[in-house]
Amino acid sequence: MFRPLLIFIGELDMHVGRVAFFHELKHSFDMPKSTLNAPTMRTHAFKQEIQTVAGRWTLLRPESLAALLLMITMALIVVLHRFQFSRIIDASLYPRDDRRPFIELDENRYPGAGVLMCFTEFGTLERAAAAWLIGSPHLVVLNAHNFVDRKLVPTRSVTDCFFRIKGADYYFEADSLWIGTSVGSKSLHITDDWALLRLMQPVAQDVKLQPVPDASFVATGAEMRAVMVSPAGHSNSRLESTVEECMIHTIDEPTEARARKARHDCNDGYGGSGSGLFTEDARLIAMRSASLDMNAKRPFDIETHYGSALLFEGELLEVIKSDVQKKP
């Protein structure tokens, strides 16, 4: 009963957060530590959110009404406790902020867009990062730093997380985590900050897959227009999921894992890990890893103030292709 209870609490927490502008804060390299940004919330909206979540959880079928009331009470305690220690975050990396909501039409243009959902150390559920269903109904691609820190020390278990896409939840095979760092590596870098996970069950047939990406056509040093898609949103935006037209200003030479880094001016915030960078014709070419001087709101600088994304090439692309060819 306890795991469903934690999911219920997390769901209620996030629904209330939409009304109250809930955004997570994370410490070094996007490892999450949630907080709730709660301005004054109208009673009617709050009641509607509770009814919405309660309706989604009727399938739990608690043995008695008392059990259901206990679940709701515990959820309210957690949410109200978090209201007391919160503040609004509304910022960006650059003076320009063109992020817009991810809408239904975007689901067809950018298929495979999902969210890594994880339980925090306090037992609440959060939108940890963006994650992509690529080439197979079993394969999820995301950042390695969701599970290890810069020194490759594990920070959370795969079993504490699951994949959410089109409103449905799918659990990972516990031993399927494949991280991009090479044998003997002592630290995580931008270009090896990738991880693959396999789902225990394939996604529903109506869920569209992101085609296997290939950034080999992008020239080193190139400048090009791009679109960043962030299924999990950002802590410095009031939008749950975002899309923004922006620029890749240069492509660095290959480094770790035989991959290159793109330096871009797409706005970002904590929670934006794993966001996809697409060409104007909707081809996935890179995955966001980290940004400098978060929430600085100052002009892009190619040396001191930019976002970093790793291109889909080198070892990452090889591993994706190999996994896609496996039988379920």
Residue 292 binned pLDDT confidence (cut-offs 50, 70, 90): low
Residue 30 binned pLDDT confidence (cut-offs 50, 70, 90): very low
Mean pLDDT of all residues in 85-105: 73
How crowded is residue 212: how many other Cβ atoms within 10 Å of its Cβ? 16
Take residue 193 and report the two structure tokens written for it: 């900050």
77 CB burial (10 A radius; 0-12, 13-18, 19+): exposed
Handedness of CA 304, 265, 263, 126 (dihedral sign): positive
Residue 314 binned pLDDT confidence (cut-offs 50, 70, 90): very high
| pLDDT, tens digit (0-9, with 9 covering 90-100), for 235-257 | 888 899 999 999 999 999 999 99
Residue 3 binned pLDDT confidence (cut-offs 50, 70, 90): low
Mean pLDDT of all residues in 133-149: 97
% of residues, the chain, pLDDT over 90: 60
pLDDT given at position 235: 83
| pLDDT, tens digit (0-9, with 9 covering 90-100), for 43-66 | 444 445 445 544 554 444 555 566
Residue 33 binned pLDDT confidence (cut-offs 50, 70, 90): very low
| pLDDT, tens digit (0-9, with 9 covering 90-100), for 156-188 | 999 999 999 999 999 999 999 999 999 899 999
Q: Hey, what domains does the chain have and what are their CATH numbers?
A: 2-83 (no CATH), 106-211+316-324 (2.40.10.10), 224-312 (2.40.10.10)
pLDDT given at position 35: 34
Asked which of 18-27, 218-227, 257-266 is least confident by mean pLDDT, the reply is 18-27
pLDDT given at position 84: 37
pLDDT given at position 7: 55
pLDDT given at position 236: 85
Mean predicted lDDT score pLDDT of the chain: 81
Residue 18 binned pLDDT confidence (cut-offs 50, 70, 90): very low
Take residue 189 and report the two structure tokens written for it: 């870098």
